[in-house]
Amino acid sequence: MEKPLLEVKDLAVNFKREEGFFKAVEGISFKIWPREVVGLVGESGSGKTAASLSLLNLTSSRGKVGGEVFFDGVNILTLPERKLKKFRGRQIGVIFQEPMTFLNPVLTIGVQIMEPMVEHWKISWGQARERALYLLSEMGIKDSERRMKEYPHQLSGGIRQRVMISMALACSPRLLIADEPTTALDVTLQYQIIELLRRIREKTPMAILLVSHDLEVVRELCDRVMIMYGGRIVETGGIREIFKDPLHPYTRSLVEVSPSFERVAWRLPGEDAPFSYQSNIPAGCRFQHRCSRVSRECKGAEPSLKEIGGKGWIGNSFSFHRQVRCWKYQEGALEKDEKPL
Amino acid sequence: MALFAPQLVSHDPLKTETENWLTPPGPDNWFGTDRLGRDIYSRVVFGSRISLSIGFISAAIMIFTGTLLGALAGYYGGIVDNLIMRLTDIIIVFPVLFLIITLISLFDSGFIHIILIIGFTGWPVVARLVRAEFMSLRERDFVQAIRALGASDLRIITRHILPNALDPIVVAATLSVPAAILAEAGLSFLGLGIPAPVPTWGNILREAHGYFRQAWWYAAFPGAFIFVTVMAFNLLGESLKDLLDS
């Protein structure tokens, strides 16, 4: 059996605030296998972006990352910055949300696509140019020769996002982290980009971690999904199971209102962002204030992430467990309640 | 003018004709002559070579040092930032003239020394400016993006942040030149600049000191040149600033 490409153990991200540390991500563990596409879903403030960027220790200087991240067996969080750079871009590519602000306004897009290749592969600019042209045409950009000489402000949003993707793919990474790759785009473009990502995924052995608040985008692309709430993973499972039979009350509310996922915050009582201060995090289950099925034990202690049912399979080589963090599914809880949700 | 000085002048700027001392401006000596009968026009023209080169070279030193240190401080922050900024604070709080006088009495007042001293005292302002610019650019999304793709610090600083910070640096450069010219004129006027008989605008002013009543032209012409040059660079800098801000 193959080894996991990425194995995250007990990942934690703390942001330094004036009043102490704020735990944006707490105790997250997961694995990503080669060729797998995994969704990481949650609302704003759930810690999903912090979690994905911390895999490469890219959180801003105020963010402290704890836990272990094994990429191909190497714990990359303990590597010195100099060695970590060799992973960024080369082994793990990143696509960001807003292509305008994530491209350098004073350099042509050609230079920006070629740069990672020159840096990592130590090839000449001429060779890098060949590949950049190839990448751009793969992205469905016509006239790539001319586009290479243009600056970000001269391009439309869709093209910019394609350029971002080309940059991330330039060195053929083995894992692609896509942080809300479609959020800043309008709906028609969203689907073009989703199609593009799907084509890339079929063509290359690359694994993708898709971070999104949009369950529909995740459903289009992913094999497996992890739902985050308040810095914790609350449910994981295969994409079909999650949609057919959501277990956690939060997931359930997400699936019910999908595709207009953004309205969840309206439908759920309580604040928009779960917890902006450490003192707001309640004892017990983090979802209790917005949960319609809240009971006594939810306020006592926090439930653990519990494996439910048998193994699920991706293709026929990777197995995974359905997991949920809710008192309704803990040992013994089922008997007390008349039925599970 | 400074480039073609030898072709533009009618007299040797160093040649003394004591019998013609302090002649008023006339067809032969356009700006009159000085106390040793030297042609003031020729001296001002040749003086421009020294004054302007001191201005440009020390401005270049200010910009180079200021940009380098400001970039390091702004990009890395933390201890590096603290050290560099405390150093600039120390230089800034020192009364500049006092510092320069001390330095000059320690070393000689040769051409190179003057340039180095003016450049050395001028860079902290540039460093602060560049630091502020780097600190804001460092947090910009595109910097994060290239960092995520594994770019080295050197590449991020030189290829990605510096070109974005160029506007204020260009303006600072244009404004540093007149500051350096003024500094040189001030030093020379106090007798701390390039030693006589080499003509610089400040040197001529210094010699003219004491002759204002008898010979107005002696001080007026070099003074006017300093004024116009400094003014021109300041206006250029200001309009560049407006142009680049819009």
Q: Rounded mean pLDDT of B66-90?
A: 89
Q: Rounded mean pLDDT of A235-245?
A: 84
Instruction: Give pLDDT, residue A105.
Output: 87
Chain B residues in contact with A120 by the CB 8 A cut-off are 150
- Cβ <8 Å between B155 and A167: no
Distance from the Cα of residue B191 to its chain's centroid? 18
A184 or B13: which leads in pLDDT:
A184
Å between B234 CA and nearest CA of chain A:
27
Nearest one of A190, A189, A210, A188 to A201, comparing CA atoms: A210
- Cβ <8 Å between B159 and A88: no
Instruction: Give pLDDT, residue B64.
Output: 92
pTM: 0.76
Q: Is residue B184 part of a domain?
A: yes
Instruction: Give pLDDT, residue B67.
Output: 92
Instruction: Give pLDDT, residue A339.
Output: 47
Model pLDDT for residues B142-163, shown as the tens digit of each residue: 888 888 888 888 888 888 888 8
- Cβ <8 Å between A119 and B147: no
Share of chain B above pLDDT 70, in %: 84
Q: Is residue B10 part of a domain?
A: no
Instruction: Give pLDDT, residue B8.
Output: 66
Does the pLDDT of residue A213 top 80, yes or no? Answer: yes
Q: Is residue B2 part of a domain?
A: no
Q: Which domain holds residue B129?
A: 32-245
* B18 interface with A at CB cutoff 8 Å: no
CA-nearest residue to A93 within chain B is B149
Q: Rounded mean pLDDT of B187-199?
A: 77
Give the best residue of A56, A102, A109 to mutate against chain B (max B CB count within 10 A): A102
Banded pLDDT at A258 (limits 50, 70, 90): low
Å between B243 CA and nearest CA of chain A:
17
Q: What is the number of domains present in chain B?
A: 1
Does the pLDDT of residue A87 top 80, yes or no? Answer: yes
- Cβ <8 Å between A115 and B155: yes
Chain A residues in contact with B152 by the CB 8 A cut-off are 85, 119
Q: Which residues contact A266 (CB under 8 A, 6 or more apart)?
A: none
Q: Is residue B58 part of a domain?
A: yes
Out of 3.40.50.300, 3.20.20.60, 3.90.1510.10, 2.40.110.10, the CATH code matching A6-91+173-336 is: 3.40.50.300
- Cβ <8 Å between A120 and B160: no
Residue B160 near residue B146, CB atoms below 8 Å: yes
Model pLDDT for residues A286-331, shown as the tens digit of each residue: 888 777 777 777 777 788 787 776 666 666 556 677 888 887 776 5
Give the best residue of A55, A62, A92, A104 to mutate against chain B (max B CB count within 10 A): A104
Model pLDDT for residues A103-119, shown as the tens digit of each residue: 888 889 989 899 889 88
- Cβ <8 Å between B145 and A86: no
Q: What is the ipTM of this complex?
A: 0.71
Nearest-CB residue to A88 (from B148, B155, B160): B148
Does the pLDDT of residue A281 top 50, yes or no? Answer: yes
Share of chain A above pLDDT 90, in %: 5
Q: Is residue B182 part of a domain?
A: yes
Instruction: Give pLDDT, residue B141.
Output: 83
Chain B residues in contact with A105 by the CB 8 A cut-off are 142, 164
Tell me the DSSP string of B88-129. Answer: HHHHHHS-HHHHHHHHHHHS---HHHHHHHHHHHHHHHHHHH
Instruction: Give pLDDT, residue B170.
Output: 87
Instruction: Give pLDDT, residue B204.
Output: 81
Q: Is residue B153 part of a domain?
A: yes
Q: Is residue B216 part of a domain?
A: yes
* B151 interface with A at CB cutoff 8 Å: yes
CA-nearest residue to A54 within chain B is B148
CATH number at residue B194: 1.10.3720.10
Does the pLDDT of residue B56 top 80, yes or no? Answer: yes
Q: Is residue B105 part of a domain?
A: yes
Share of chain A above pLDDT 70, in %: 85
